[in-house]
Chains A and B, each alone.
Chain A
Amino acid sequence: MDRFRMIFQYFQSNSESVMNGICGLLALASVKMYTSFDFSCPCLPQYNMAYGLGIMFVPPIILFLCGLILNRQSLVMLEEWRRPSGRRKKDLAVIRYMCSSIMQRAMVAPVIWIIVTLLDGKCLICAFSGSMDPEKFVGFANVSTVQAQQLLAKVPCKDEELTSNSTSRKAVSRYLRCWSQALGWSILLILIIAAFLARWLRPCFNQATLLQARHWSNYIDIEQKIFEEACCEHSRLFAHKCILHFFESMRQEIKLHSFSLPREGEQAEGEEDLLRGITDQDQVNKLLKTWYCEKPPLDVSQAHQRHPLVRERSLLPWADNTSTRSKCPLHTSV
């Protein structure tokens, strides 16, 4: 009993830590993905903005969906939301609590991606270099509009021979990077302040409701896990009984066929018990073949009733090795 209690406590605390762990892993994965991704701005007027903004916003959506998929609690919440009421009422506060905790954890990795992108600056430079006002920069002021657009679009690419050493290119690049980093730090600051306030001010509102919601959401999670374990345990016992009954029915068939006098008190050795009356190569082969061709029914309550099919089978030829080797005998299913 003690052991089970310890295991349950482990699961209880572990559920939260597992989810936090997954959240952290996804955050690390998002940073790693960004650093290993080979950002390559197309430096073409129509494509820059789509590429830059795409790289900034599409991976966060992917990371958000991954965060929802990998979180086991999201399934639990959905089941709780969609189940019929039955004899247990649904508490919307609990569902809301679970939803908000799932969303908070799933938002961490996308936010980290966006912040890292902004602090690095490449995306914004790629996306908005074409939107710069050419008048502000010396190198682009004296050219036609179309050419200015072309040149501005090439700013993110350092290897372009037209603009590689140009000071104007560096000026545009620095300007955009400055904006990008300012935006990144501001977003980070706002988010941290919001998190701080939320955590500190929460006890001032509805603390009792919150405690209840948290308790019942943990309860639903644990109940789900225990149900799965109970099913697992049950199927193991079911299988055990089913196989024992199968061996027993084989032993009885063998007794029917073998006309031998019943052995008196032959249960002397433990090994004889384990052999379960199957003591011959043919018997073993027959057992294995029967296991494949005619799996026993999924019903362990009728263990010792003689099945009509067994009686019928006893009239068929028994040790017919050659013919029964390849094909399973046809029987009507019950």
Chain B
Amino acid sequence: MDKFRMIFQFFQSNQESFMNGICGIMALASTQMYSAFDFNCPCLPHYNLAYGLGILLVPPFILFLLGFVLNNNISMLAEEWRRPQGQRGKDPAVLRYMFCSMAQRAMIAPAVWVSVTLLDGKCITCAFCTSVPVESLGNASHPRLSQGEIQRVLARIPCKDIYNGQQLIANEVAVRYLRCISQALGWCSVLLMTTLAFLVRSLRPCFSQAAFLKSRYWSHYIDIERRLFDETCAEHARSFAKVCIQQFFEGMSTDLVAARCHLPRKAPADAGEAAEKLLGITDQGTMNMALKSWHRCKPPLHLHPPALPTGNGWAGEGQPPTYPSAPRRETAAYYSWV
């Protein structure tokens, strides 16, 4: 009992650390994904913005959804939300707590992606290179180009090898300007997110601490109850299967005895456990018949009480006559086949 209790405590405390671990792994995975991703700005006027903002915003959305998918508690939340009320009322505070804690963990990897992207600067450089203030940064004395031409030249800023507007505005100046803005945005967004997290975490004990403790207790309870129920069902299924198979073999051996029409050989008194475990099946033919029967005609999912031994080996007597006839018909077919 002690061992189970310790294992349970380990799982309980471990569930939180497990989820935090998954959260951290996803954050690392998002930085790794970003560094492995080969960013390739198209350097065309209308495509740059779409590409840059797409790389900035679509992967975080994917990571957010992945954070929910990888969280085991999502099915628990859905089940608790959709179950009929029955004899147990539903507490919306508990559902809110579960959803909030899952959403907080799922938000970390997207936040890391957005921060890393902004601090690196390539996305913003690609997306907003056509909006660089040429008047202040560039060469005002350059011969006038049409607006479209200027846009096309500016769009090539991220691609140093094909940039041909050095007289209009120096590539390094524009890239530095855009990268400065991007990094400023990045640091400000990290500061904002950290401040929000700090406020959420530190203001909670000032308001509704009791309600929080209640929600946390019952959300852990729901999790533990679900796991215990699954374990109990697994235990039950194991016992069910064991008894079912035992009864199958007993049925087979009783049947064989009846079919052979001679007294069963008396097992020697000191045969021991091994002979008992053979359950009356002692030769190749019988075993083959047992295996074929198991495949062709599995026993019904209906455990009859242990039968009193009778002369003709009918094990079906004494069953409560309550259930529909289908299982019974199966049994009858089995016997008549032999």
Contacts and interface: CB of A to CB of B under 8 A. Distances in A.
Contact of B88 (A66, A79, A284, A297): A297
A259 B84 contact: no
A79 to B, nearest CB: 4
Interface string A69-91: 10000110011011100000000
B19 interface: no
Interface in A177-228: none
A35 B206 CA distance: 39
Nearest to A276: B236
B87 A297 contact: yes
Contacts of A239: 221, 224-225, 228-229
7 closest cross-chain pairs (CB), A and B: A294-B86, A281-B301, A260-B320, A42-B180, A239-B225, A279-B303, A274-B239
A235 B85 contact: no
B87 A294 contact: yes
A69 B137 contact: no
A66 B115 CA distance: 15
Given A243-B225, A243-B232, 5 more contacts: A44-B177, A82-B209, A232-B224, A243-B228, A297-B87
Nearest to A292: B83
Main DSSP-derived SS at the B contact region: helix
A159 B172 contact: yes
Contacts, number: 183
A47 B88 CA distance: 62
A142 B198 CA distance: 52
A40 B121 contact: yes
A54 B180 CA distance: 11
Contacts of B294: none
A162 B205 CA distance: 58
B224 A291 contact: no
B242 to A, nearest CB: 6
Nearest to B179: A40
A247 B172 contact: no
Nearest to A40: B179
Interface residues of A, number: 78
Contacts of A298: 88
27 contacts: A42-B176, A47-B177, A50-B184, A51-B184, A58-B187, A58-B191, A59-B187, A69-B194, A69-B201, A78-B206, A231-B217, A232-B220, A235-B220, A235-B224, A258-B322, A259-B320, A274-B239, A278-B240, A279-B240, A280-B302, A281-B302, A294-B86, A294-B87, A295-B87, A333-B85, A333-B86, A333-B87
A66 B201 CA distance: 11
Contacts of A274: 235-236, 238-239
A293 B232 contact: no
Contacts of A42: 176-177, 179-180
B324 interface: yes
Contacts of B229: 239, 243, 291
Contacts of B201: 69, 75
B197 interface: yes
B323 interface: yes
How many chain B residues sit at the interface, stated as a range, is: 35 or more
B173 interface: yes
Contacts of B221: 235, 238-239
A241 to B, nearest CB: 10
Nearest to A51: B180
A66 to B, nearest CB: 6
Q: Which of B13, B86, B238, B239 has the most CB of A within 10 A?
A: B86
Interface string A266-299: 1010011011101111101000100111111110
Interface string B186-205: 01101100110110011001
Interface string B165-191: 000000011001101100110011011
B293 interface: no
Nearest to A274: B239
Interface in B98-126: 119-121
Interface in A26-63: 37-38, 40-44, 47, 50-51, 54-55, 58-59, 61-62
Interface in A294-316: 294-298, 307, 309
A259 B322 contact: yes
A231 B86 contact: no
Interface stretch (B4-12, B68-76, B146-154, B264-272): B4-12
A260 B305 CA distance: 11
Contact of A247 (B9, B79, B232): B232
A43 B179 CA distance: 12
A160 interface: yes
Nearest to A126: B180
A263 B220 CA distance: 40
Q: Which of A66, A69, A239 has the most CB of B within 10 A?
A: A239
B137 to A, nearest CB: 7
A266 B305 contact: yes
Nearest to B12: A232
A50 B180 CA distance: 10
Contacts of B311: none
A232 B16 CA distance: 12
A5 interface: no
Contact of B176 (A40, A284, A334): A40
Nearest to B320: A260
A157 interface: yes
A257 interface: yes
